[in-house]
Amino acid sequence: MKSFLYPKLNPPSFTWVRPEAADDAVKVHEWIQPLTAEADPEKRKDVDFVVVGVPLSRSSISASGASEFPDAFRRAWKGFTTYNLDEGVDLSSKVAVDVGDVPMHVTDIRRCHDNIIEASAAIQDHFPTSTVCAIGGDHSITAMMVKGMHQASPDEKIGIIQFDTHFDLRDLSDNGPSNGTPMRNLIESGVVKGSDMYNIGLHGFFNTKDLKMYAEEHGVNYITLRKARKKGIEETVLACLAALSEKVDTIYVTVDMDVLDIAYAPGVPASTPGGMTTAELLDGVLAVAKHQKVKAMDIVCLDPQKDSNVQPTVKLGTHVFLTFLTGVMMR
Amino acid sequence: MKSFLYPKLNPPSFTWVRPEAADDAVKVHEWIQPLTAEADPEKRKDVDFVVVGVPLSRSSISASGASEFPDAFRRAWKGFTTYNLDEGVDLSSKVAVDVGDVPMHVTDIRRCHDNIIEASAAIQDHFPTSTVCAIGGDHSITAMMVKGMHQASPDEKIGIIQFDTHFDLRDLSDNGPSNGTPMRNLIESGVVKGSDMYNIGLHGFFNTKDLKMYAEEHGVNYITLRKARKKGIEETVLACLAALSEKVDTIYVTVDMDVLDIAYAPGVPASTPGGMTTAELLDGVLAVAKHQKVKAMDIVCLDPQKDSNVQPTVKLGTHVFLTFLTGVMMR
Amino acid sequence: MKSFLYPKLNPPSFTWVRPEAADDAVKVHEWIQPLTAEADPEKRKDVDFVVVGVPLSRSSISASGASEFPDAFRRAWKGFTTYNLDEGVDLSSKVAVDVGDVPMHVTDIRRCHDNIIEASAAIQDHFPTSTVCAIGGDHSITAMMVKGMHQASPDEKIGIIQFDTHFDLRDLSDNGPSNGTPMRNLIESGVVKGSDMYNIGLHGFFNTKDLKMYAEEHGVNYITLRKARKKGIEETVLACLAALSEKVDTIYVTVDMDVLDIAYAPGVPASTPGGMTTAELLDGVLAVAKHQKVKAMDIVCLDPQKDSNVQPTVKLGTHVFLTFLTGVMMR
Amino acid sequence: MKSFLYPKLNPPSFTWVRPEAADDAVKVHEWIQPLTAEADPEKRKDVDFVVVGVPLSRSSISASGASEFPDAFRRAWKGFTTYNLDEGVDLSSKVAVDVGDVPMHVTDIRRCHDNIIEASAAIQDHFPTSTVCAIGGDHSITAMMVKGMHQASPDEKIGIIQFDTHFDLRDLSDNGPSNGTPMRNLIESGVVKGSDMYNIGLHGFFNTKDLKMYAEEHGVNYITLRKARKKGIEETVLACLAALSEKVDTIYVTVDMDVLDIAYAPGVPASTPGGMTTAELLDGVLAVAKHQKVKAMDIVCLDPQKDSNVQPTVKLGTHVFLTFLTGVMMR
Amino acid sequence: MKSFLYPKLNPPSFTWVRPEAADDAVKVHEWIQPLTAEADPEKRKDVDFVVVGVPLSRSSISASGASEFPDAFRRAWKGFTTYNLDEGVDLSSKVAVDVGDVPMHVTDIRRCHDNIIEASAAIQDHFPTSTVCAIGGDHSITAMMVKGMHQASPDEKIGIIQFDTHFDLRDLSDNGPSNGTPMRNLIESGVVKGSDMYNIGLHGFFNTKDLKMYAEEHGVNYITLRKARKKGIEETVLACLAALSEKVDTIYVTVDMDVLDIAYAPGVPASTPGGMTTAELLDGVLAVAKHQKVKAMDIVCLDPQKDSNVQPTVKLGTHVFLTFLTGVMMR
Amino acid sequence: MKSFLYPKLNPPSFTWVRPEAADDAVKVHEWIQPLTAEADPEKRKDVDFVVVGVPLSRSSISASGASEFPDAFRRAWKGFTTYNLDEGVDLSSKVAVDVGDVPMHVTDIRRCHDNIIEASAAIQDHFPTSTVCAIGGDHSITAMMVKGMHQASPDEKIGIIQFDTHFDLRDLSDNGPSNGTPMRNLIESGVVKGSDMYNIGLHGFFNTKDLKMYAEEHGVNYITLRKARKKGIEETVLACLAALSEKVDTIYVTVDMDVLDIAYAPGVPASTPGGMTTAELLDGVLAVAKHQKVKAMDIVCLDPQKDSNVQPTVKLGTHVFLTFLTGVMMR
């Protein structure tokens, strides 16, 4: 089986088998369909949501198995229905496709990053009206996904809403485009301005002071978790969106799962005590997804190999994705 | 040792040894006593709380070890005192007995269910004024416990307060009386009306749309977790009780532990991200237990084999039970 | 997608995606292909190996997730090549198909068992010359698989080689056809004579004396692990085959994974200290598979949910299967 | 390498190696320096924070590995920067030293306790103006640390703020100065008055009624978690400080990590369902540390051997320590 | 319930409930009965095997939960029959009693040790013809059990067979009678001569050279695992017994579970790579138990809290005990 | 602190603190000393053993945390004495130094590999008579260590003894110099001839047929585990050494820990069922180390993050290292 963009993308490594009897999708794995090279080109026009796996984590500073998340994510679909009971939204009335995984190289990380840029641009070309969900992988992929979008539409100004415990503004000259650098990468390459970045969730003792100074020099907006909690997560998100949407054409949302408290996210090695609760993150993601200018998102830094037995973090990552789609449908 | 209803019930598989020196019970395992066939029949009149184990989980859709919970629950008693410090309530001033376990058959699930109905009815006959706590087992037992109560007192109208992430309204014609069906089972058998059921805690992507439609057709009341949180869990419970107590004689409370967020309940395979916190569930259970019409409860779907090392979920299940008893004493 | 025998069999719940570039199968998941209803009937004649999943474990005495093994088994294929380096045998020169899973019912265990019998008979009808590998599930399925073979060819006398820590000769009148009963079930139903059963691996304190007496009354042959070790596992197997093949037309091999020492098989809850090592079991399975009269086998009682982190037991179960196929090819 | 008080204290069992390039400390392990016997005595005057390990847990009622926490705590430093982003406070502008561990005896618990008293007094003598952080160990060490302070300055009246699920007022005549007795030990030895103790966080079924009666007889102040939550944790702490600071010269803070909900603290075997969240504890600790009279603190009952894979509890314990230091700097 | 020697011994903390229907014991938990103060004194004469729990591990150099083994051991009985299939021996034809646990003090280790000596002597007085099995606890208990035997029969010369990775000959003046010292303790107290000690299983890098020199100075016999394997474990044991039985009246067997390879014994923190396999230890224990002069044994240093999920080590410890009993019956 | 070759090498991230009292090293962490830039150059002449950490695993095909092994290895030293009791060898009479870690780059794998080559050559230059032990890291480092040796002494012919489940002969044109390629890398770069490589331990279904064909074309010698077991591991090693030492000047030993059975090596994700036992590997390593021409070794592919709770694999890796040193001392 070829991916539709083959050889640019690998097909997912497995596909769910849809039971004969099921005429309507009721579970997510019955709803999201792999898009193969053989698929009718006409069908691509109707696509609302595009899922792409970005299985790269050898660019992580600390050893990471986040490259395993795209597969774990797809396996988790079976445990979710398409119906959001809280909001009364049924995802299955929309069309969602899984275009497979960006191909990676074992020892050439630069080539991996180039592949992501290329894939991101190609997806924008083929699905200009769809919402794109990139499933990481580590945070280095965010810079590449956004660069791909920029390459596809150089005239569109892109802004970023980031849920994160860290600035991710490390110096690229230290260790190259690692998972600690995506925001700085975008600033320094001129793709996104610092003042068009809004980081929600910073807290504790997990950023050095010089990164904060860099952020301030470049006008990066950040709201610490303590402040966001006092204002309300939803209200904080709405305020950021209001300010950002004045300045940009397109908003990209990046969810670094390490924004969560470690009690909620054993499968995110970089998560810490004092982070967001599940309810807070889901509220924030739902709020951001409702905004018209949000066109793409990613979920990064979730390492299924470190998750505990019953896979709370993999399930939570999948829930974040579905909650984002729900928000999009509520626009 | 025989159970008092032998051969209807098996005695618990072990008994705690009470230290000689202890004149007063200070730990739960010193307080709750097994009730054997040899016990003085007169003693049964004074019983306030009846505990019965219902170790059935082969009726679960997914493989479950919830059948191990009654024993794990009894072992956990040793870690709790009888004194609730928050409320200043000492359980040991009441009489609690453990009547053992409903006997189960390995390959005949229908016989298991019949045994539960029979045991439930017998307990009602012997302890008409006691509060009954059934320790599951999976959720299929709820229908059987309630049917047994109905059989014992056919004229009493029964209503249900349910803490659950799911409707549990699946079609019995698909796979028989599994753990996905108890509420529908009670509706279809005419034992409880849909409009006398109140489900608190539904959320996320864990129910199909057709179940919601069935719920609405049959008048099942449900308050999603998001709504309950906005109103307050305690206030939500009180509102449900106010409405329900107008309509029925007796209220049965069923606590499906999957209502909890998976971070709090690793030992509940069906728990999900975005569910209740421990504090929310304990508040809800305390509030419901204070109502005069509440006569029985169960705790279901907790699989100790999947719990993590230090057994947070088994301890939480035991805490739910003791909090319920505290509420009853505060009436 | 329909299974080829649909609705008798469910298709596997997922299928591996074969990379475009691969012209020759080098990994097991590229080699074993699902057989769908659409497949050319002519193709069925060439099948050497038939894999069928039998996901039933609610018939287990203790709570078991062995029903999850067929899926875990298929996922594990990706970690194995088709080439056995020790023996220089390449499995990929043969044709292997996966016919999917026997459909199960949640609350009617008898119907599950009937489905297995029916499926086993149907497989024999369609693939009379293939070697059949049934992937359990618990040990109750063995009686049903053998009954199905007997139903398909009533005149063929069947004998059994069993690797097991237990006799599995429990009385069916106690708890029905549970996982403790398959051998007795076959004796009492007249399908296999006790004297045509050879049990290798019994040891320790894991069988009651009365089961041993039953075994002796019915002429069941058994070689304790201690004796088998002294003689050599391979030599023991050869001696059993020599005796058994004189008496029967067809030999069925059943591998209860609890024959292993618990240090090697954390994912088999019934495994015990003092059981077989991995090397011993693989030697035994290779030896038995080389015999011309061996026509079918099963692997049972492996619960992937209890396996440890790196899944040693799931991998070992898969290795047992591949080693069996290797032996068949070496005939 | 000798500790500066050698042989009174053992040096830490390992030291972090500071990279040559680093001119400024940015990580905690680069900031806190071991203080050896060779260090310039003049340097001791400038010390703001003194860390001392107290690796004793064989005095615990239940088997405990809390003696391993001081080493685990030091290893965890590497994961934290010195910069608190929420408060904009940089710890590295202060001087912090690690004076090593109090030496312990394997079979003579009394000698262990005497060593702690002696070490605590010696630290007060050498660092009269520093804030002292004792890293346990179990809760029995609190009584000894406070006794040492009392010995060093007999005229200073000491009060205690305690975060705890338990009273820790057990009778010393039962089992000696175990981890269940420190508060009673201090009352009965006349070192701290019951009315100068404030316990925040008691809840559930984890204290016997007689302990509450003892508390009330001796005027021990306690605010149950339920009440503290209603008032607000920070407000509760401030109210306690206001009352206590009127009565005493010095305040000692003891953080029994079992005050946390077990979902947040798998590495604290005595933690329970219904305890504090991480956010609540951190808020409380920050508030208390800001008070001028707070001179010392300890963190106890954290057993790293029971922590889960990604060490959430060890990280949280370290976060509590750093948050305390932040509060001190905000005075 | 009192223990028969109350207050010298605590009763076990729980007792198994024997099903009514069972007329004959078939499982170990139905066979071994608690011996209470109320039991007919006449019954004590017939006792073949005495089990006593010795739940002390706060005397361990490293933090240990071996104090939890006696309870875990009793809970494990349920998983074993009384019938040893390898040897055709049925334990249930003998009388076995559980006299409960030696009472321990939380903070006075010396008192714990005195209690063990006293209990051991008392058991010898009451059951002079029984075989005594002490269930530790850590290895410090061995010295105390043997001292108690010596106290009961000062004229009987005692020798020791020890299965161990370590000499356990550490200097008592360093840290008192810890788990590293029992053999030296017995030599220095004159209770057992070094030349009447035979240590089987030493290996690797787990003993300092000076301990070996002490061993040689005092004539302690030791056979490294490498040598024992070459000769055969059973043959090694027989050779030791032959030599030792010439010199002493009574043989005490101590099984330090750390003699096992860590792959077989995750629940023994001091076990190491390169130790015995399960089969080797069981062979050794069976061989030693057959000797007429063996009168008592212990199993030590097994920490159930560190065991993995399916409890392989607890099961193995129980198997060692039952195998020992089997050997005794085969005399 | 600088490493002696700084900036070529990073110092180890921590150092053990040697207790004042200890005049002689008895534990490994007291014996092996970090070698800093400040160390007397004269001291380098006396060095017998050089330890160097090579923390690279982002070159692994599957996500790996083997980069964490050097630190885990150093932490494990504390659990081992310097005295090998089996052989009566005391390592502490020799001089061992830890030169720290080869510096790695996060996103430039080629630079990592170049650093290893450079460090290996430098170590050969500084310590021409020492035995070098490289602690990986994944198997890609082997090619680089050997290339460094070759660079330092281009005229010395190097041969390799490899313990491995895999050939590690994958095509470099597929994915660059990953952990699947080191042997091919050395062949293709002309550094080592295929016929001077001896691979012991291949087994099962873990190599594709084409790799075997490549091996045979290039004369790579391999002895499957099955054959090695029949001949005896020690005898196999001796036979390989006899043949190889005729052909080369220097022998490099590489121990891929995946040669072990997965039951013994949970911390080696690539280990498989049917691999070596601990005893077999230790025997093989001891035998090979005794040979005069063996000058260097490495231990690779051990991922401490995947090890189970009590760290059996980390301990085993450390044991392999110490056993190797023992063999060297027995020459």
**Full residue range of the structural domain in which residue B192 is found:** 28-329
Task: Note whether residue C2 is domain-resident.
Answer: no
Q: What is the DSSP string of A191-237?
A: SS-GGGEEEEEE-TT-S-HHHHHHHHHTT-EEEEHHHHHHH-HHHHH
**F136-159 mean pLDDT:** 98
Chain D interface includes A226 (CB < 8 A) = yes
Distance from C-alpha of C189 to C-alpha of A25, rounded to nearest angstrom? 44
Instruction: Cis check for the bond before F201: say yes or no (omega within 30 of 0).
Output: no
Distance from C-alpha of F277 to C-alpha of E273, rounded to nearest angstrom? 10
Instruction: Give the CB-side neighbour count of residue F53, counting CA atoms within 13 A.
Output: 29
User: In this structure, what are the phi and psi dihedrals at residue D135, rounded to the nearest 5 degrees?
Assistant: -105, 105
**F56-60 mean pLDDT:** 97
Which pLDDT score is estimated for D277? Answer: 97
Task: Note whether residue D2 is domain-resident.
Answer: no
List the subunits that have 3+ CB pairs under 8 angstroms with E.
B, C, D, F
Q: Do A14 and C10 touch (CB under 8 A)?
A: no
- Those residues whose C-beta lies under 8 Å from the C-beta of residue C59, and which sit 6 or more positions away, are B58, B106, B107, C109, C112, C113, C138, C140, C176, C177, C178, C179
**D211-218 mean pLDDT:** 97
For E10-21, the pLDDT digits (tens) are: 888 888 887 665
Identify all chain B residues contacting A80, using CB atoms and an 8 Å cutoff. 204-206
Q: What is the 3-state secondary structure (H, E, C) of chain F?
A: CCECCCCCCECCCEEECCCCCCCCCCEHHHHCEECECCCCHHHHHHCCEEEEEECCCCCCCCCCCHHHHHHHHHHHHHHCECEECCCCEEHHHCCEEEEEECCCCCCCHHHHHHHHHHHHHHHHHHCCCCEEEEEECCCHHHHHHHHHHHHHCCCCCEEEEEECCCCCCCCHHHHCCCCCCHHHHHHHCCCCCHHHEEEEEECCCCCCHHHHHHHHHCCCEEEEHHHHHHHCHHHHHHHHHHHHHCCCCEEEEEEEHHHEECCCCCCCCCCECCCECHHHHHHHHHHHHCCCCEEEEEEECCCHHHCCCCCHHHHHHHHHHHHHHHHHHCC
Q: Do B83 and D266 touch (CB under 8 A)?
A: no
Write out residues 265-324 of F within 8 Å (CB-CB) of D: none
Identify all chain F residues contacting E306, using CB atoms and an 8 Å cutoff. 309-310
Q: What is the DSSP string of D235-297?
A: HHHHHHHHHHHTT-SEEEEEEEGGGBBTTT-TT-TT-BTT-B-HHHHHHHHHHHHTSTTEEEE
**Closest in D86, D90, D315 to A273, CB measured:** D315
Which of the residues E2, E10, E16, E20 would you substitute to probe the B interface, choosing the one with the greatest number of B C-beta atoms within 10 Å? Answer: E20
Q: Is the pLDDT of residue B24 over 80?
A: no
Chain E interface includes C203 (CB < 8 A) = yes
Q: For D89, which DSSP code?
A: E
Sign of the Cα torsion F260, F59, A298, A97 reads negative
Task: Note whether residue D18 is domain-resident.
Answer: no
Distance from C-alpha of B205 to C-alpha of A90, rounded to nearest angstrom? 9
Distance from C-alpha of B319 to C-alpha of B322, rounded to nearest angstrom? 5
Q: Which residue type is seen at A225? A: L
The number of distinct structural domains making up chain F is: 1
For D109-156, the pLDDT digits (tens) are: 999 999 999 999 999 999 999 999 999 999 999 999 999 999 999 999
Q: What is the dihedral of CA E305, E311, E313, E315, to 10 degrees?
A: 130
Which pLDDT score is estimated for B167? Answer: 97
Give residue C142's pLDDT band: very low, low, confident or very high (50, 70, 90). very high
Sign of the Cα torsion A296, A299, A301, A303 reads negative
Task: Note whether residue B6 is domain-resident.
Answer: no
Task: Note whether residue D299 is domain-resident.
Answer: yes
Assessment of whether the complete model's pTM goes beyond 0.95: yes
Q: Which residue in chain C has the smallest CA separation from F271?
A: C312
**D81-105 mean pLDDT:** 96
Give residue A18's pLDDT band: very low, low, confident or very high (50, 70, 90). confident
Q: Among A73-82, B276-285, D33-42, which stretch is predicted with the lowest mean pLDDT?
A: D33-42
Q: Which residue in chain D has the smallest CA separation from E303?
A: D63
Q: For C84, which DSSP code?
A: E
Chain C interface includes B71 (CB < 8 A) = no
Which pLDDT score is estimated for B148? Answer: 97
Rg (CA), chain E: 18
Task: Note whether residue E78 is domain-resident.
Answer: yes
Q: For D11, which DSSP code?
A: P
Distance from C-alpha of F302 to C-alpha of F71, rounded to nearest angstrom? 12
Element housing D327 (H / E): helix D312-329
**D161-183 mean pLDDT:** 96
For A40-57, the pLDDT digits (tens) are: 666 667 899 999 999 999
For E42-95, the pLDDT digits (tens) are: 666 789 999 999 999 999 999 999 999 999 999 999 999 999 999 999 999 999
List the subunits that have 3+ CB pairs under 8 angstroms with A.
B, C, D, F
Distance from C-alpha of D189 to C-alpha of D194, rounded to nearest angstrom? 11
Which of the residues A20, A33, A78, A310 would you substitute to probe the C interface, choosing the one with the greatest number of C C-beta atoms within 10 Å? Answer: A20
Which pLDDT score is estimated for E20? Answer: 61
Q: What is the DSSP string of E272-283?
A: BTT-B-HHHHHH
Q: Is the pLDDT of residue E169 over 80?
A: yes
Q: Is the pLDDT of residue E255 over 60?
A: yes
Task: Note whether residue C6 is domain-resident.
Answer: no
**C219-226 mean pLDDT:** 98
**Closest in F84, F86, F263 to E263, CB measured:** F263
Encoding tokens for residue A146?
């956004």
Distances (CA, A) of C230 to B242, C236, F274: 75, 9, 21
Helices D312-329 and D69-76, interaxial angle, to 10°? 70
- Those residues whose C-beta lies under 8 Å from the C-beta of residue C219, and which sit 6 or more positions away, are C193, C194, C195
**F120-125 mean pLDDT:** 95
Identify all chain A residues contacting D312, using CB atoms and an 8 Å cutoff. 262-263, 266, 273
Which pLDDT score is estimated for C8? Answer: 75
| Burial grade of A189 (CB within 10 A; 0-12, 13-18, 19 or more) | middle
- Number of H helices and E strands in chain D, helices first, is 11, 12
Write out residues 119-148 of A within 8 Å (CB-CB) of D: none
Identify all chain B residues contacting E15, using CB atoms and an 8 Å cutoff. 14-15, 17
**D205-212 mean pLDDT:** 96
For E123-155, the pLDDT digits (tens) are: 999 999 999 999 999 999 999 999 999 999 999
Task: Note whether residue F1 is domain-resident.
Answer: no
| Burial grade of B12 (CB within 10 A; 0-12, 13-18, 19 or more) | buried
Chain E interface includes D67 (CB < 8 A) = yes
**Closest in B105, B176, B306 to C107, CB measured:** B176
Chain F interface includes D230 (CB < 8 A) = no
Which pLDDT score is estimated for E8? Answer: 75
List the subunits that have 3+ CB pairs under 8 angstroms with C.
A, B, E, F
Q: Is the pLDDT of residue C36 over 90?
A: no
Closest residue by Cα to residue F26 from C303, D326, E210: E210
Q: Supply the CATH number for residue A276's domain.
A: 3.40.800.10
Q: Among D13-17, D103-107, E277-281, which stretch is predicted with the lowest mean pLDDT?
A: D13-17
For C265-322, the pLDDT digits (tens) are: 999 999 999 999 999 999 999 999 999 999 999 999 999 999 998 999 999 999 999 9
Chain D interface includes B80 (CB < 8 A) = yes
Which pLDDT score is estimated for D6? Answer: 54
Q: Which residue in chain E has the smallest CA separation from F317?
A: E273
Q: Is the pLDDT of residue A21 over 60?
A: no
Q: Is the pLDDT of residue F150 over 70?
A: yes
Distance from C-alpha of D204 to C-alpha of D226, rounded to nearest angstrom? 9
**A82-99 mean pLDDT:** 96
Say if CB C201 and CB C225 are below 8 A apart: yes
